[in-house]
Structure 1
Amino acid sequence: MSNSIKLSVLIAAIALAGCTVGPNFARPEAPASNGYAATGDAVRPIAGGPHATLGEGAGPRWWQAFGSAQLDALVDKAIANNNSLAASNATLERAREQIRAVAGKRLPQIDANARIEREQVNLQAFGFDSSAFPGISTKNPVFNLYSVGGGVSYDLDLFGRNRRKLEQAVAIAEAQQRQTEAAHLTIAGRVVEQVLIIATYRARIAVAEALLAEDQKLVDLTDKRRIAGEGTLTEVTNVQAQLAADRDDIPQLRQPIDEARHMLATLTGVAPDALGPTDFDIATFTLPADVPVAIPATLVRKRPDILQAEADLHASTAAIGVATAELYPNISIGATLTYAAGTPGGLFSNDLKGFDIFGGLTAPIFHGGTLKAQQRMAVDDAKAKAATYRQTILEAFQQVADLLSALQTDQRALVNHQDSVAIAGRSRNLSRRSFQVGNSGILTVLDSERLYQRAQLGLVDARAKQFLNVARLYVATAGGWTGPAVIAATP
């Protein structure tokens, strides 16, 4: 058997014997729990309120459950134009390109080269004495040299360092994709939240304006009573003062609307003056009767922040393999071919070519404990990522449990505020009639008006909080935006 054949057989045997050191990542098991409430904490849903249905959870366009085409358009605009999402998308693309860059290192590396040189040869360095050549005027000749060639090299990756690096790059890209999904979900949630804030304060302004109209009626009524000799100027002044005070409350209610509009403009990627109308009315929104909620086992396979923590754990596990492979020898093989001549026309002549075939071995001998320390650091980092993953799951379960409980609390609060409005309305009507017939003073009427206004504002806030918590529950359990899949790692 020739030497070249023996070398080829040896190289093939070494390559086949290569292994991948370090732990293989195993996806953590999903929790066995089927619910979120602790023993004894389960509460029966209240009639008329939204009810959580445990299953696969909401779809990616969960905001459509509120039945507002205007809201849908704003969310779509934010997802398309938000600058933070654009940055996250670009970062994701960078991570995907990094996968391709790392994967390319596992293939043979081929390079070409060409040189033009002007050289002077030192004859004495080769043992020639210029006195032996009396006819030559130049001691050391000067000439041109042209060369062209190329080479190929290949890292055998005996212990899987490059394979683990590729695995790590894929996991990092997946973590970035999950972060991007979470960003889309968060942006959609923030848009819905700002819209609900606008709708809530517009409803509060409507209550305040209705109160102003009632105050004006009282001013007219008390003034007529004064003119007729049945009332006093003090009563008129008291009602006028209350009218002025209630009028001053409205500008303060408009400020949160302006702030929410400015936030919506930022979220949708436009200047505030380019946002367009946002005349949302909370009465036009639909409160879903059934809110689909992912069961715990589904949530950990769906919620972006949990999947990001899982991908971070995968990347850290692969990093252990990279650090472990650094402790072992590495072999690379390759070959080069070069043509050289004194003139361009002389290139590619078989008489002027040279080649070499090589194999190289590098093995760590002494690094002062650095490589071992780096391996231990990778192990510690994986332990930290595992703890972070477990904590992320627990915090997600807590958030969902809190919001499920809020569904019951919000509905109770809504029912109580509806009763309060009804009672305060009857009290206001009775106090007015009593004042008109002279059985009570104007202060009693003003007090009943204040109670009725507070009851109405409480009802507005209770209804808004119910919408807001339903939206938060969707955000907590929906899967969010899904982009192109990350390139799968090659084992």
Structure 2
Amino acid sequence: MLGSSEFPRRDRRVDATGRRPRDRRRYADRRPLPPVTEFGTVPIPKRSSTTRPEPRGSAGAAPGTPASMTPGRTALIAGAAALIAAGCTIGPPYVPPGAPATQRYTGGAQPGHTVVGAAGTAQHFVYGEKLNAQWWTLFRSTELDRLLRTTLRRNPTLEAARATLRQARDTLEADEGAFYPQVSGQLGAKRQRFSGAVFGGGLPSRIFNLYTGGLDVSYYPDFFGANRLVYHQQKAHVDYRRFQMQAAYLTLESNVVSLAITAAELREQIRATHTILADERTLLTLTGQRYRLGAVPYLDVINQRSRLAVTRAGLPPLEQQLARTRHRLAILSGEYPSQWKGYAWTLAGLRLPLELPVSLPSALVQQRPDIRAAEAQMRAANAQIGIDTARMYPVVSLTASFGQQGALPRKLFDSAGNVWGLAADLTQPLFQGGLLRAQRRASREAYRAMAADYRKTVLGAFAQVADALRAVENGARTLRAQRQALAAAREALGLARSQYAAGAADYLRVLTAQIAFRNACIRTLQARAGRLRDTTALFAAIGGGWWPQPGGAKASAGGGHGDRSGPIPPASEAAANKRGTP
């Protein structure tokens, strides 16, 4: 019997992990690393030195861990899960552009109102006020409103924009299918003859039938977010098409209103030109009579003929411009020029809004559809960076199949004909000659280009608003000066008529004053039409009236429901614009 002094007992102590401690002298230079608690690793549970050690694989492991799982395996699995979770955020996060770093549109003092005209009225700029969604109704013309409603229903450009938006939405819905398993079914019947020569010629030929049926399932787990990025990119394309459609609405509305004002101006200008032609013919006749009497030289007759020819030569271009304007209105209304009847509106029937809502610079970027479209392109370009980055990561595909086979139709559902299969594939790009990295760099540069285009669009929008504000302000001064000139011409005509009635002047002086008065009327007419067009340009520059109803009638127009005439905002938003002046 051996004593303990001859053979020392083995050390039966165990550490917290269930292992016996190693020789400290032998492994003194291999100190264990402290447990890491950063993202992607799992800390090792600490135990008290007085606690009794637990067997391996029981309480010594983390809670909920299988008995066979060691801390190293736990850390490995946790790290893989963290990698997958991090892969869902591949690509740079999108940061929307901030508000413009300016509080004014124009240099110097920002205009608050226009000058007071001869009629005693002035237009006031109301900054921060919302605009009527149907802003053209502020001109208070029934004929103009009818023309706009007809145009919005029949315009082919709007139909194309609505169809393009629906196409983008359908594509987005199709992209959603990538998040779900793809299931397909198949049935087949086959009859085939095998030759015995295939088996060495020792067997007779055989003919057999085979009936098959089954289901195939395939699924691509979106571990690294590629499908989500494609979906977000297509969603940005949908927003881009929607804002493009809104921009098409706004452009159409402003073009129709401007063309309608131009048509009314041209009709009245042609009418005034015909009156001037009649007066100049009469003046030429009187000048010829005075020449035959020897009262004036023949040069006066030649000069009067020249003025009459110049006036007559200016009439066909006016008529051609009116015809071209009517043809453009017909095309915008979706009709042939020969079939378009037009509307009988006049400048006198268009009222000038007295209070003009102007968006604040910080809100303009959210109200102009072209700026919103440029921002949507930035989001799509940002998603493309993530898509090109995701191509560098593995692609996992899971497939499964289940079916039946039989030589006879009645044998198709026997258990002996049961067939199935499961498969998992992982594809990782290893070497493609720098293609993927170059594509990612290209997508980053494309994003920078879109960001520059966005800034260019914003700068252009601010320039348009600034131009429109100054145009309204200067147009009012021009109209006031023309009305002063018109008043002077009217007074001169009145004096000439009084002198003619008193016998102090001949009729030639009356006709000369009358022609000058008619020309002053035409210039005043042009200034009035220009002021109406400048107001229209200001409404278009601030984005029309889209923002009071972001999900309203104009947005729903993308669904192809015909007219986009939404409800007019409440009186609190548009009452200030209801008042007008002729």
Does the pair score TM above 0.5?
Answer: yes
Partner of 1:116: 189
Partner of 1:25: 94
Partner of 1:104: 177
2:504 and 2:211 mapped to 1: Cα distance? 117
Instruction: Give the Å deviation of 1:251.
Output: 3.8
Q: 2:230 aligns with which of 162, 165, 168?
A: 165
Partner of 1:320: 385
Instruction: Give the Å deviation of 1:292.
Output: 0.9
Instruction: Give the Å deviation of 1:24.
Output: 1.8
Residue identity matched to 1:59: N
Equivalent residues in 2 for 1:284-363, closer than 5 Å? 284-363=349-428
Instruction: Give the Å deviation of 1:43.
Output: 6.6
1:202 and 1:183 mapped to 2: Cα distance? 28
**2:111 aligned with 1:38:** no
Residue identity matched to 1:380: E
1:377 and 1:243 mapped to 2: Cα distance? 66
Instruction: Give the Å deviation of 1:244.
Output: 6.7
Residue identity matched to 1:470: T
1:420 and 1:473 mapped to 2: Cα distance? 27
User: Does the residue aligned with 2:262 lie in a helix, a strand or coil?
Assistant: helix
Decide whether aligned partners of structure 1 residues 368 and 225 sit closer, same or farther in structure 2, where only a CA change above 3 A counts: closer
Residue identity matched to 1:484: S
Decide whether aligned partners of structure 1 residues 366 and 218 sit closer, same or farther in structure 2, where only a CA change above 3 A counts: same
Residue identity matched to 2:108: T
1:306 and 1:346 mapped to 2: Cα distance? 66
Residue identity matched to 1:28: P
- Given that residues 173 and 486 in structure 1 are in contact (C-alpha distance below 8 angstroms), is that contact kept between their aligned partners in structure 2? no
Q: Which has the larger radius of gyration?
A: 2
Equivalent residues in 2 for 1:330-479, closer than 5 Å? 330-431=395-496, 447-477=512-542, 478-479=544-545
Q: 1:92 aligns with which of 165, 168, 180?
A: 165
Instruction: Give the Å deviation of 1:460.
Output: 0.8
Per-residue CA deviation, residues 106-129 of structure 1 (Å, 9 max, x unaligned), is: 11111111222233446666xx44
- Given that residues 158 and 248 in structure 2 are in contact (C-alpha distance below 8 angstroms), is that contact kept between their aligned partners in structure 1? yes
- Given that residues 222 and 231 in structure 1 are in contact (C-alpha distance below 8 angstroms), is that contact kept between their aligned partners in structure 2? no
Partner of 1:6: none
**2:134 aligned with 1:69:** no
Q: 2:556 aligns with which of 473, 476, 484?
A: 484
Residue identity matched to 2:210: L
Equivalent residues in 2 for 1:252-291, closer than 5 Å? 252-291=317-356
**2:219 aligned with 1:154:** yes
Point out where structure 2 has 5 or more consecutive residues left out of the alignment: 1-65, 67-76, 547-552, 560-582
Identical-residue share of aligned pairs (%): 33
1:56 and 1:44 mapped to 2: Cα distance? 15
- Given that residues 161 and 325 in structure 1 are in contact (C-alpha distance below 8 angstroms), is that contact kept between their aligned partners in structure 2? yes
- Given that residues 50 and 290 in structure 1 are in contact (C-alpha distance below 8 angstroms), is that contact kept between their aligned partners in structure 2? yes
Aligned residues: 470
Instruction: Give the Å deviation of 1:427.
Output: 2.8
User: Does the residue aligned with 1:482 lie in a helix, a strand or coil?
Assistant: helix
Name which structure has the greater RCO, CA cutoff 8 Å, separation 6+: 1
Instruction: Give the Å deviation of 1:432.
Output: 5.4
RMSD, matched Cα: 3.2
Instruction: Give the Å deviation of 1:151.
Output: 1.1
* Between structures 1 and 2, the one with greater helix share: 1
With normalisation by structure 2, the TM-score equals 0.74
Point out where structure 1 has 5 or more consecutive residues left out of the alignment: 2-8
Partner of 2:24: none
Residue identity matched to 2:250: L
1:129 and 1:110 mapped to 2: Cα distance? 42
Decide whether aligned partners of structure 1 residues 91 and 260 sit closer, same or farther in structure 2, where only a CA change above 3 A counts: same
Partner of 2:250: 185
- Given that residues 147 and 343 in structure 2 are in contact (C-alpha distance below 8 angstroms), is that contact kept between their aligned partners in structure 1? no
- Given that residues 111 and 473 in structure 2 are in contact (C-alpha distance below 8 angstroms), is that contact kept between their aligned partners in structure 1? no
- Given that residues 109 and 152 in structure 1 are in contact (C-alpha distance below 8 angstroms), is that contact kept between their aligned partners in structure 2? yes
Residue identity matched to 2:167: R
With normalisation by structure 1, the TM-score equals 0.86
Instruction: Give the Å deviation of 1:60.
Output: 2.5
Residue identity matched to 1:22: G
2:558 and 2:85 mapped to 1: Cα distance? 29
1:436 and 1:224 mapped to 2: Cα distance? 20
Instruction: Give the Å deviation of 1:201.
Output: 0.8
1:32 and 1:383 mapped to 2: Cα distance? 20
Decide whether aligned partners of structure 1 residues 41 and 364 sit closer, same or farther in structure 2, where only a CA change above 3 A counts: same
Decide whether aligned partners of structure 1 residues 113 and 33 sit closer, same or farther in structure 2, where only a CA change above 3 A counts: same
Decide whether aligned partners of structure 1 residues 401 and 240 sit closer, same or farther in structure 2, where only a CA change above 3 A counts: closer
1:191 and 1:42 mapped to 2: Cα distance? 27
Residue identity matched to 1:297: S
2:393 and 2:107 mapped to 1: Cα distance? 51
Partner of 2:71: none
Instruction: Give the Å deviation of 1:219.
Output: 6.7
**2:147 aligned with 1:50:** no
1:426 and 1:41 mapped to 2: Cα distance? 37
Residue identity matched to 2:153: A
